[in-house]
Structure 1
Amino acid sequence: MTEGLLFVFAEPGEVPEAEFHDWYDHEHAPARLRVPGIRTGHRYRALDGAVPAWLAWYELDTDALRSPAYEVARRRSPREQDVVRRLATLDRRVYSQVDDTGTVVPAAPVVVCVALSTDDEPGLDAWYREEHVPLLHRLPGWYRTRRYRLAEGDGPALLAFHELSDVGLFGTPEYREATSTPARSAVMASVTRRERRVFGHHRTVTPD
């Protein structure tokens, strides 16, 4: 059993927002939460003004995604087929966890998702473990940092998934220190692809 993350960006496109939320909250997400091994699901709205504007993420055992129950959940109803056809983006990624630091919170107000590909994975890993994560976790309200490797989907190979209390932390001296060291500059010189997104909590989904 491996700790995993099902991570889905969505942009409604031609789907009216009310219809988009009704489909996601009452059909799409509940079907996934009924699968044994998919433990929690949350929806977040972009705070950074970028698109896709919506993120859904599910904590799970990766074996759950190979189960018959999940195959049933993925069968699209006629309504879902119609909604998905009209979406501008439905970007599904699956990650396997490699590291976990901090405090578990039920649904953090803010998440920061930093996806990276690099020519120097050992150097990036050492920087995260030895400098970057310890510095970030000095900030009151920086709850948790989990790091993942991409298992399925199209995206950078690695993901740092941060859970925090407020975007105001980005303006603190401690945050500036954590993101502007000489070691960070050296590591970033080897990065070949980078995505950084900031989202705020919209709702926690349930199986009903």
Structure 2
Amino acid sequence: MPSPYLFFVQSNPTFVDDDLWTKWYTVEHLPDLVNSKLYDRAALYKEVEVPLDLVAGVPPYPRKFLAVYQTAQEEASGTQAHQELRTTSEMFAEQGGPKEIERNGDIDARNYKLIQDYDPDIVGDVPSPHILTVELQPNDEEDYDRFYREEHLDLLHKVPGFRRSQRYVLGPKTRLTQGDPPKYLAVHEFNDLSVLAGPEMTDTNSRPWTQKILKENTAFILRGWQLIKPEGY
């Protein structure tokens, strides 16, 4: 079962290129955080196209990397142990970037609390090759919760290659949280996102309850991600 909390970090390099940003994350940063014992496991993803009409024409989002860290701490990044982790890297000097980590990237870091783990096939805590993240601010929170528990997740389970889903509610802001994110986050795991163009997903998204949720909200952000590197699994 997933850890009770999720540290969710979207980023984009500003001084260095994507390859060096990826190298720093996978060689230094992910291992640092997992080895600190504050975080149980972690994974780095990079954004990929989602083959759904729901996102057709949506402008690209500024941060195309996503690091997710499962943790037992509600605010792990605010602990003394996290503050003692290294805040600089010699890697960035390879391309003339400053040593300070935060000066090399545009970063949005958030805390989330797990509210539902849906794992009907008992996949367990295995790094997913692809994930679909859905951030949403519903007008009716009770109806939104029932929608997932009573219909939507069971329909997603019928999509070929579906693995499992976790649902979260936004926790305390970090000092790197940008703006006011939507209150709810769903993380849907898939073997491949190309299946989202298939008839099963079309049926799911055409259901009246789905259409109601999509219309009755004040924020909806859907993004697809491909695994680059897991750590601690």
TM-score for the superposition, normalised by structure 1: 0.88
Residue ranges of structure 2 left out of the alignment (5+ in a row): 51-59, 91-97
Rounded Cα–Cα distance in structure 2 between residues aligned with 1:107 and 1:45: 14
Distance in 2 between residues matched to 1:180 and 1:32, nearest whole Å: 41
Corresponding residue number in structure 2 for 1:159:
185
Aligned-partner Cα distance in 1 for 2:17–2:148:
40
Say which of 87, 90, 95 aligns to 2:112.
95
Which of 121, 128, 135 does residue 108 from structure 1 map onto?
128
Partner residue of 1:121?
141
TM-fit CA distance, 1:163: 0.5
- Superposed displacement of residue 108, structure 1: 1.0
In structure 1, C-alpha distance between the alignment counterparts of 2:148 and 2:227, rounded to whole Å: 25
Q: Which residue of 2 aligns with 1:197?
A: 223
* Residues 110, 170 of structure 2: 8 Å contact kept: yes
Q: Which residue of 2 aligns with 1:31?
A: 32
Q: What is the alpha-carbon distance in structure 2 between the residues aligned to residue 64 and residue 94 of structure 1?
A: 7
CA contact (8 A) 2:88 2:101 kept: no
The 3-state SS of whatever aligns with 2:134 is strand
CA drift of 1:13 comes to 2.5
Pairwise CA distance, 1:85: 1.3
Distance between the aligned counterparts of 1:16 and 1:83, measured in 2? Answer: 14
Aligned in 2, Cα 1:180/1:42: closer, same or farther, shift over 3 Å? same
The answer as to 2:198 corresponding to 1:172 is yes
For the residues of structure 1 that align with 2:74 and 2:221, how far apart are their CA atoms? Answer: 27
Partner of 1:62: 73
* Contact 1:47 1:199 survives alignment (8 Å): yes
Partner SS, residue 179 of structure 1: helix
% of aligned pairs identical?
26
Partner residue, 1:182: 208
Q: Give the conservation status (yes or no) of the 8 Å contact 1:46–1:199.
A: yes
Closer/same/farther in 2, CA of residues 204 and 159 from structure 1, 3 Å limit:
same
Partner of 2:23: 22
Alignment gaps of 5+ in structure 1: none
Mean CA deviation greater in 75-84 or 146-155 = 75-84
Instruction: Describe the SS at the equivalent of 2:206.
Output: coil
- The aligned residue for residue 56 of structure 2 is none
Matched AA of 1:85 = R
In the alignment, which residue of structure 2 is the partner of 1:3? 4
Q: Which segment drifts farther, 145-154 or 195-204?
A: 145-154
| Counterpart for residue 40 of structure 1 | 41
Q: For the aligned residues, what is the CA RMSD?
A: 2.2
| Distance of 1:149 and 1:129 partners within structure 2 | 15
Preserved CA contact (<8 Å) 2:163 2:191: yes
Residue 167 of structure 2: which of 147, 156, 159 is its match?
Answer: 147
The answer for the alignment partner of 1:82 in structure 2 is 100
Q: Which amino acid aligns with 1:101?
A: Y
Give the drift of 1:180: 1.5
- How many residues matched? 204
Counterparts of 2:75 and 2:134 in 1: how far apart (Å)? 25
How far the C-alpha of 1:40 sits from its partner, in A, is 0.8
Aligned mates of 1:61, 1:81 — CA distance in 2:
30
> What residue number does 1:130 align with?
150
